[in-house]
Amino acid sequence: MFSHVVIFWTKPEVPGAADALLAGAQKYLAAVPGVRSFHVGTMVPSHRPVVEQSYQVALNIIFDDEAAQDAYQDHPLHHEFIAKAFKPNCAKCVVFDFA
């Protein structure tokens, strides 16, 4: 199993950026071949100080292996997500890949 986790900080000057990023991820990324499990959502506030709460959207995709994740990175739908949802709405992201 290979996990691909992306944490997004949206552009504060773009109204509705988090919603647009969520919709774009659902539209473009969930349908990419090789995606075993797909989950995207917004940050959940917590009373626990150890929980990171400065981001707006998180994405968790599970693949069978690293090769499937590599193919996902090159897929046209992933590139369309970057162009149409990520670049217009995202100020920063951090990626965590692990197996």
Domain count, the chain: 1
Task: List pLDDT tens digits, range 61-78.
Answer: 999 999 999 999 999 999
d(CA 83, CA 62): 22
Q: 74 is in which domain, residue-wise? A: 2-44+53-98
d(CA 56, CA 19): 10
Task: List pLDDT tens digits, range 9-32.
Answer: 999 999 999 999 999 999 999 999
d(CA 10, CA 55): 8
**Total-model pTM:** 0.94
CATH of the domain at 89: 3.30.70.100
Residue 33 in tokens: 């071949």
> CB count, 10 Å around CB of 81?
21
The DSSP symbol for 54 reads: S
pLDDT band at residue 4 under the 50/70/90 scheme: very high
